[in-house]
Amino acid sequence: MSIKSLNCEEVNELSDIQEKKVVDSKGGNKSTDAKFVSCLQTHAKDKNGNVSEVNELKYIIDTYFKEHKDNPELYKALCKCCKEKEEPVSDLDKLINGNKTEREEFMECLELHEVNIVLEALSKL
């Protein structure tokens, strides 16, 4: 399954986006990963080969949208932003976005797609 093939209007929960266990085999939860968002990753393998849950979308939900976990609109917005993240970025977009990290752009995307949920969550930061 790929993000591009998802119909976001049919997404109602996280498992609709992450249909199976996807393991990042490149070393797990590194501090450099904080700049990125992996929409499909659910687990990571550390340098010793141990697999543990490392689910960035679940982390975003639990950290910023906990009170909206039961709202299907949150998952539709996550789907849309995951799709946008996968689209090629033009030089003009890079110039406009400046030094923003992928995670910052992802959170801004959520704000655009689901203003009410995001504004409430951001007010708690």
- CA 102/CA 56 separation, integer angstroms: 12
Count CB atoms within 10 A of the CB of residue 24: 19
d(CA 59, CA 71): 16
Q: What is the pLDDT of residues 1-40, one digit of tens each?
A: 688 889 999 999 999 999 888 787 765 555 666 677 889 8
The Cα–Cα gap between 40 and 23 comes to 9
Q: Rounded to an integer, what distance in angstroms lies between the CA atom of residue 79 and that of residue 61? A: 13
Q: What is residue 1's predicted lDDT score, i.e. its pLDDT?
A: 60
Q: What is the pLDDT of residues 64-97, one digit of tens each?
A: 888 889 988 899 999 999 998 877 666 556 666 6
CA atoms within 13 A on the CB side of 47: 1
pLDDT tens figures, 110-123: 878 766 666 666 66
Q: Are 79 and 8 in contact (CB under 8 A)?
A: yes
pTM of the entire predicted model: 0.75
Joined tokens for residue 81: 């932003």
